[in-house]
Amino acid sequence: MSKKTEKLAKLRDQARQIRRYIVSMVGEAGSGHPGGSLSATDIVTALYFDVMRIDPQNPGWPDRDRFVLSKGHAAPVLYAALAERGFFPVEKLRTLRQLGSPLQGHPDMRKVPGVEMSTGSLGQGLSAANGMALAGKLDDRDYRVFVLLGDGEIEEGQVWEAAMAAAHYKLDNVTAFLDHNGLQIDGPTDVVMSAEPLADKWRAFGWEVQEIDGHDMEQILSALARARETRGKPSIIIARTVKGKGVSFMENEVNWHGTAPKPEQVEKALAEL
């Protein structure tokens, strides 16, 4: 087995484990957002377990790469990645949404080590990422900033103001992912408020655009490598994904946007994973 094949296999196994944590923690909490957490799992896994320069023992390291979960309701995938990466004990995942737990329904940068931005009010994450990236350039630091957007979220006007600003300031240290699963809380995105043509829009706003399968680990890593080499403009990776990916009865079902599985459904999902 080649080193590349071995790395991809390890990342896929890691993603499977994170999906198990997502299902378990949301099920135990009795509330949360499994669908969009599962669709983003492969992207978040690639970032935290291969690409990003981070130190779990020193979360505030000035030269660390930053990740902003703009679609903050997908907090379970972020918490699972942070725990697996060593920012806090895995056992704490069981306290999701419990009274007094730092693991709130949306991430809080004041309470959870490794969380770079408190998010949940949709549309704001790219603006925050721009600020981090601009600060890095002003301070002559070479860290990179990654941000994950939801495709329902980009109906927010602030996203496009931030897109315009990132291109204007030539923030080539910003890489955005669009978790393009095609569903939002009220239904299909193209029915609620179509943002198509997506790739053309981002290009028109001055971004380097790539379109990939957001569940193909090799494509994710290749796109991130290309984004790193892009100069003079920000990059966006439009990742086609499946809401609820990995759990057959959740896949492409809009009702699993913000519904917690019951104990028997948790058991069935974990068996599949």
Both ends of the chain: CA-CA distance in Å?
24
Among 1.20.1440.230, 3.30.450.40, 3.40.50.970, 3.40.470.10, what is the CATH number of 3-272? 3.40.50.970
Give the residue extent of every domain in the chain. Answer: 3-272
pLDDT digits (tens, 9 = 90+) for 22-71: 999 999 999 999 999 999 999 999 999 999 999 999 999 999 999 999 99
Whether the model pTM is above 0.95? yes
> pLDDT at position 260, please?
98
pLDDT band at 1 (very low <50, low <70, confident <90, very high): confident
Read off φ and ψ for residue 203, nearest 5 degrees.
-65, -40
Share of the chain above pLDDT 90, in %: 100
Q: What tokens appear for 63 in the block?
A: 């030269």
Q: What is the mean pLDDT of the chain?
A: 98
On the question of pLDDT at 188 being above 90, the answer is yes
pLDDT band at 117 (very low <50, low <70, confident <90, very high): very high
Cα 265 to the center of its chain, rounded Å: 24
Residue 172 contacts residue 235 (beta carbons within 8 Å) = yes
Rounded mean pLDDT, 110-128: 97
Taking the C-alpha atoms of residue 22 and residue 38, their distance in angstroms, rounded to an integer, is 7
| E-strand stretches of 114-223 | 145-150, 174-180, 183-184, 187-188, 208-213
Q: What tokens appear for 207 in the block?
A: 């971004």
Residue 249 region, left (φ>0) first, then alpha (ψ -120 to 50), else beta? alpha
| E-strand stretches of 217-271 | 235-240
pLDDT digits (tens, 9 = 90+) for 239-248: 999 999 999 9
pLDDT band at 141 (very low <50, low <70, confident <90, very high): very high
Q: What tokens appear for 133 in the block?
A: 């990236």
